[in-house]
Amino acid sequence: MDKPGSLQNGPEPVDFRRKLTVVMILICAALSVLTIRLWYLQIIKGDELKQRSENNAVRFRKIQPLRGLIMDHNGVVIVDNRPSFDVLYLPARGVDHEDLILKLREIYKMKSVDFYPAQPFPRTLKSYLPVRLEKNVGMEKVALVETNSMDLPGVYVDVTPIRLYLDGEITAPIIGYTGEVSKEELEKPEGDYASGDITGKSGIEKALDPYVRGRRGNELVEVNVYGKVIKNLGRIDPVCGSNVVLTIDAALQKAAWEAFEGRPGAAVAMDPRDGSILAMVSSPSYDPNLFNSGIAREAWEKLQKDPLKPMSNRAIAGQYPPGSTYKLIVAAAALEEGVITPETRINCSGSFDLGNRTYRCWRKNGHGPVNLHRALVESCDVYFYTVGKKLGVDRIARYARKFGLGDVTGIELAHERKGLVPTRDWKQARMKEPWQMGETISISIGQGFNLTTPLQLAQAYASLANGGTLWRPRLVQRIEAAEGGVVKEYLPEKKGDLGLSGKTVELLQQALWGVVNEPGGTGYAARIDGADVCGKTGTSQVVGLPQDEQARRRKKIAAFHKDHALFACYAPARHPEIVVSVVAEHAGGGGAVAAPIARRILKAYFDGKKKDRPVEVAVRRQTAGQAGN
């Protein structure tokens, strides 16, 4: 055998023997160091580490961030945060958790408070992930748990921020509510949620959740058997969510809510100059604070089963026949299409015959010969039956669409409904039946298949008020970082143009002025001091009964079969600043019920302006982490 380590086939034998010996020694030395370390850990420090492994637990804690504040356009805080106390349990070794909960119940009994489990006890426990026993407990329980901590190994109180909706049900339809992240949301890959996170479930809270949510922090602490922190192992601070500035005026919102006095309905107040929503109420509503720490089952069922559907935002999801408020659109179509001139007079005898059916005007005795202006002011039905018949359903539909009806407005909220602008094709496709002329007659006064949302109504009237521009209704002005500075600015968005001639616009505006201000006008009840109001009333039938039949039954009609009252208006007549649409469900006539509601909203707006209120920015900013401790 050759001498090992020498290479005969190389150009020059290299002596690897020495190098390999060095390498062997180095490796043996290194491995010895590791063995000594192993000895040190297991033998020298063994007992200490064994104790740590038996007694101490490492607790991993998510620190929920503060959600961003939500403010009105003046900086008045509408949605804030408040601390909530939860009772948590970190699974400890050798503790039977059923005994533990029995013990907790006993301790509670001393002060005669009950134990309300936050969740069914999980089947498998992770030693570093605490289980939440109770949510949002009162100070009494906090004190009981803290003072009895020796008897309750692993049980402790934790503070997390939860939402405080200062205006409760008044703003709930816009703001929405928050809750713990759902299973479905957790499974979304793009969500970056962890269980226990708080997310927006509806309204602005949901739409702007990525901005408002903030980023959760983490903390890793070593705790002893009693759950006391004995060592801080690391912490990542949470990051506050961004604040949202809405276009809403909190005071006007409140006034609008109060104007309804609890009656079911919805109202939208909008700035016709850029589409900013100043107020949007939907009545009845719900208290979003109930959802903060998980709504109780009974409360949830009550909300769900309520026939008045308090959880739905009627302003965007309530679809109502527009009634006579639709006459504005039929009038615009008729003028533009040359079907009538402003002077065309039609004689209203109180009824209109088509085939073997008779369609009645709301005024039994008729209006006599009326031109367009008077027909709008007095809301003459026969005039519009005649004009509508000449126009045909499809031409009316074309103009309705120009006014933004029959499609979502594009507001930031989810669950917006489209409403309905019927056409011949629509009926053929939907019902497999041809269009009937009689249906055109119903359409021309906003009945029949027609459906609009209160928001669409406000949008349509805003476009006339501003001379023809269709703005996208908007709720969000900007998003601001918690530490100041603008994160994102939302600019007004022009969606389209009515394309009406200046003369038509002027004629229609004058007629709307007449509705409120001229003798015989149906919207007389909307007048306020100091500003000229222009508007149009509407009364929409709820059940499609023939007019005379309905009249006969009116006296004994149940509340649910009464007509909806509508009113859409703007003010001041010159340079309008505010558009208001009101729908009062099953309330009766638009002029009698809806117009006074609109009047109260308008009055609140102009009174508020008069006060020239100083900018009282009651912003309560907090820093992340403080509430988490």
E-strand spans in 316-411? 346-348, 351-354, 357-360, 368-370
Using CA atoms, how far apart are residues 381 and 538, in angstroms rounded to an integer? Answer: 11
53, two tokens: 């492994």
Among 143, 233, 308, 486, binds another protein (CB under 8 A): 233
Asked if residue 427 lies in contact with residue 252, where contact means CB atoms within 8 angstroms, the answer is no
Among 14, 194, 431, 619, binds another protein (CB under 8 A): 14
Residue number, 55 or 436, with CB nearest to another protein:
55
Site of tokens 């009950």: 114
Residue number, 205 or 219, with CB nearest to another protein:
219
Using CA atoms, how far apart are residues 425 and 340, in angstroms rounded to an integer? Answer: 26
Residue number, 37 or 364, with CB nearest to another protein:
37
Residues 470-489 that bind another protein (CB under 8 A): none
Residue number, 8 or 112, with CB nearest to another protein:
8
Least distance from another protein to the Cβ atom of residue 129, Å: 10
Least distance from another protein to the Cβ atom of residue 126, Å: 6
Least distance from another protein to the Cβ atom of residue 320, Å: 51
Least distance from another protein to the Cβ atom of residue 214, Å: 18
344, two tokens: 């065309």
Least distance from another protein to the Cβ atom of residue 61, Å: 10
Among 120, 138, 234, 338, binds another protein (CB under 8 A): 234
169, two tokens: 């049900």
Using CA atoms, how far apart are residues 456 and 463, in angstroms rounded to an integer? Answer: 11
Residue 324 annotated as catalytic: yes
Asked if residue 275 lies in contact with residue 502, where contact means CB atoms within 8 angstroms, the answer is no
Among 143, 194, 230, 236, binds another protein (CB under 8 A): 236
Helices H, strands E: what count in the chain? Answer: 21, 23
129, two tokens: 């992930």
Asked if residue 464 lies in contact with residue 515, where contact means CB atoms within 8 angstroms, the answer is no
CB atoms within 10 A of CB 369: 12
Residue number, 44 or 414, with CB nearest to another protein:
44
Establish if 94 lies at the interface with another protein (CB under 8 A). Answer: no
Piece of the chain touching another protein by CB under 8 A; list 38-46, 401-409, 476-484, 536-544: 38-46
Residue number, 80 or 219, with CB nearest to another protein:
219
Residue number, 28 or 296, with CB nearest to another protein:
28
Window 166-205: contact mask with another protein (x via CB under 8 A): ----------------------------------------
Asked if residue 64 lies in contact with residue 180, where contact means CB atoms within 8 angstroms, the answer is no
Piece of the chain touching another protein by CB under 8 A; list 232-240, 255-263, 374-382, 413-421: 232-240
**481-507 as b/e, with b when 16 or more CB fall inside 10 Å?**
bbeeeeeeebebeebeebebeeebbeb
CB atoms within 10 A of CB 313: 28
Q: Please give the size of the binding site for another protein, defined by CB under 8 A.
A: 52
**Is the bond leading into 596 cis (omega within 30 degrees of zero)?**
no
Piece of the chain touching another protein by CB under 8 A; list 4-12, 141-149, 250-258, 407-415: 4-12
Residue number, 65 or 514, with CB nearest to another protein:
65
Residues 584, 590, 593, 596, CA torsion sign: positive
Catalytic: which of 324, 379, 442, 463?
Answer: 324
Residues 6 or more apart in contact with residue 556 via CB below 8 angstroms: none
Helices (H), 287-379: 297-305, 314-317, 327-336, 372-377
Among 37, 82, 188, 494, binds another protein (CB under 8 A): 37
Length in residues, the chain: 629
Residue number, 64 or 276, with CB nearest to another protein:
64
Among 164, 220, 239, 408, binds another protein (CB under 8 A): 220
In eight-state DSSP terms, residue 523 is T
131, two tokens: 């289980």
Residue number, 217 or 288, with CB nearest to another protein:
217
Pairing of strands 494-497, 534-540: unpaired
Piece of the chain touching another protein by CB under 8 A; list 43-51, 167-175, 192-200, 593-601: 43-51
Least distance from another protein to the Cβ atom of residue 145, Å: 25
Using CA atoms, how far apart are residues 125 and 581, in angstroms rounded to an integer? Answer: 55
Piece of the chain touching another protein by CB under 8 A; list 21-29, 168-176, 366-374, 422-430: 21-29
Among 74, 136, 148, 218, binds another protein (CB under 8 A): 218
Establish if 4 lies at the interface with another protein (CB under 8 A). Answer: yes
Least distance from another protein to the Cβ atom of residue 88, Å: 18
Distances (CA, A) of 202 to 175, 271, 311, 558, 597: 7, 24, 10, 33, 27
Piece of the chain touching another protein by CB under 8 A; list 1-9, 319-327, 379-387, 556-564: 1-9
For residue 59, the one-letter residue type is R
Return the percent helix, strand and coil in the chain, to nearest 5. Answer: 40, 20, 40
Least distance from another protein to the Cβ atom of residue 208, Å: 26
Residue number, 233 or 486, with CB nearest to another protein:
233
Residues 98-137 that bind another protein (CB under 8 A): 126-128
Residues 6 or more apart in contact with residue 24 via CB below 8 angstroms: none
Using CA atoms, how far apart are residues 152 and 157, in angstroms rounded to an integer? Answer: 12
Asked if residue 443 lies in contact with residue 388, where contact means CB atoms within 8 angstroms, the answer is yes
Piece of the chain touching another protein by CB under 8 A; list 53-61, 138-146, 181-189, 302-310: 53-61
Residues 6 or more apart in contact with residue 129 via CB below 8 angstroms: 60
Least distance from another protein to the Cβ atom of residue 311, Å: 39
Piece of the chain touching another protein by CB under 8 A; list 32-40, 264-272, 351-359, 568-576: 32-40
Least distance from another protein to the Cβ atom of residue 185, Å: 21
Q: How wide is the angle at C-alpha 432 spanned by C-alphas 431 and 435, nearest 5°?
A: 80
Coil, strand, or helix at residue 209? helix
Least distance from another protein to the Cβ atom of residue 304, Å: 37
Residue number, 129 or 166, with CB nearest to another protein:
129
Least distance from another protein to the Cβ atom of residue 586, Å: 57
Residues 6 or more apart in contact with residue 431 via CB below 8 angstroms: none
CB atoms within 10 A of CB 106: 12
User: What amino acid positions are annotated as catalytic residues?
Assistant: 324
* Binding interface with another protein (CB under 8 A): 2, 4-5, 7-12, 14, 16-17, 19-20, 23-24, 27-28, 30-31, 33-35, 37-39, 41-43, 45-50, 52-54, 58, 60, 93, 126-128, 218-220, 222, 233-236
